């Protein structure tokens, strides 16, 4: 259980949550989730002294664990309700997946890199998190379990894939960083009805690219 690991630097997590409040994060469910999860579990031991710095950190295969503020900002934009069904595109380290799960929602997550998939799956099982993780092309979503109340894309996309929009419930929300390979704008989409959507743009961020049929091709990032 996650409680077995809470001894890992609780004071640093408390300070991080205070800093996130000062930066405009107000969703108590999100802040409480960040308070509960030791970030050390997701990074190399050589980076432990940076675990609670508000910055992205490298993990395997040229991927990153996102800056805590970014994780909190994106999750807050989803306006999650208890029991929501949420699809995450890009499991990565599994940190964002666990933050979502602790917001009292049902989490489905897709990862394309087998080694990261296996590592996150093992971590979920070890900590007794009931998260549905699949190996595959996240840019295509996970249509077999649609529709979703919310979709979170945790890598940069050139545009929001229509395949993902179709997997949202009416009034469902999608948050994704949209832009080029260097800089993206955090974008929130709400599916108003079968044909109509509402889009709002928020702060600028930098993400690794979403690789896939509806994302970037591997050669694009070279």
In a domain, 176, yes or no: yes
In a domain, 100, yes or no: yes
CATH of the domain at 13: 3.40.50.150
Q: Which domain holds residue 111?
A: 2-210
Per the structure, the count of domains in the chain is 1
In a domain, 120, yes or no: yes
Name 12's Cβ contacts closer than 8 Å, sequence gap at least 6.
51, 52
Catalytic residue among 46, 66, 101, 159: 66
The reported pLDDT for the residue numbered 11 is 87
Q: What is the mean pLDDT of residues 144-162?
A: 95
In a domain, 94, yes or no: yes
Distance CA 47, CA 65 (A): 12
The reported pLDDT for the residue numbered 2 is 59
State yes or no: is 101 an active-site residue: no
Please determine, for residue 5, whether its predicted confidence score (pLDDT) is greater than 70.
no
Q: What is the pTM of this model?
A: 0.92
Please determine, for residue 178, whether its predicted confidence score (pLDDT) is greater than 60.
yes
Residue 157, φ and ψ in degrees, nearest 5:
-125, 150
Structure confidence by residue, pLDDT tens digits, 60-83: 888 889 999 999 999 999 999 999
Cα angle value 35/184/96 (rounded, 5°): 25
């Amino acid at each position: 259980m996650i409680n077995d690991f809470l001894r890992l630097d609780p004071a640093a997590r408390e300070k991080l949550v205070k800093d996130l409040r000062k930066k405009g994060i107000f969703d108590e469910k999100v802040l409480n989730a960040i308070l509960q999860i030791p970030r050390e579990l997701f990074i190399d031991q050589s980076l432990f002294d940076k675990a609670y710095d508000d910055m992205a950190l490298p993990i395997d295969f040229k991927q990153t664990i996102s800056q805590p503020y970014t994780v909190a900002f994106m999750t807050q934009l989803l306006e999650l309700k208890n029991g929501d069904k949420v699809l995450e595109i890009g499991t990565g380290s599994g940190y964002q997946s666990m933050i979502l799960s602790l917001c009292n929602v049902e989490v489905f997550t897709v990862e394309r890199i087998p080694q990261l998939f296996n590592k996150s799956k093992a971590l979920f099982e070890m900590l007794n998190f009931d998260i549905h993780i699949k190996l595959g092309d996240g840019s295509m979503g996970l249509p077999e379990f649609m529709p979703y109340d919310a979709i979170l894309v945790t890598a940069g996309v050139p545009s929001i894939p229509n395949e993902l929009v179709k997997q949202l419930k009416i009034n469902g929300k999608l948050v994704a960083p949209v832009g080029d390979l260097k800089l993206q704008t955090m974008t929130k989409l709400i599916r108003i009805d079968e044909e109509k959507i509402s889009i709002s743009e928020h702060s600028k961020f930098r993400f690794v690219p979403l690789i896939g049929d509806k994302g970037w091709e591997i050669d694009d990032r070279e």
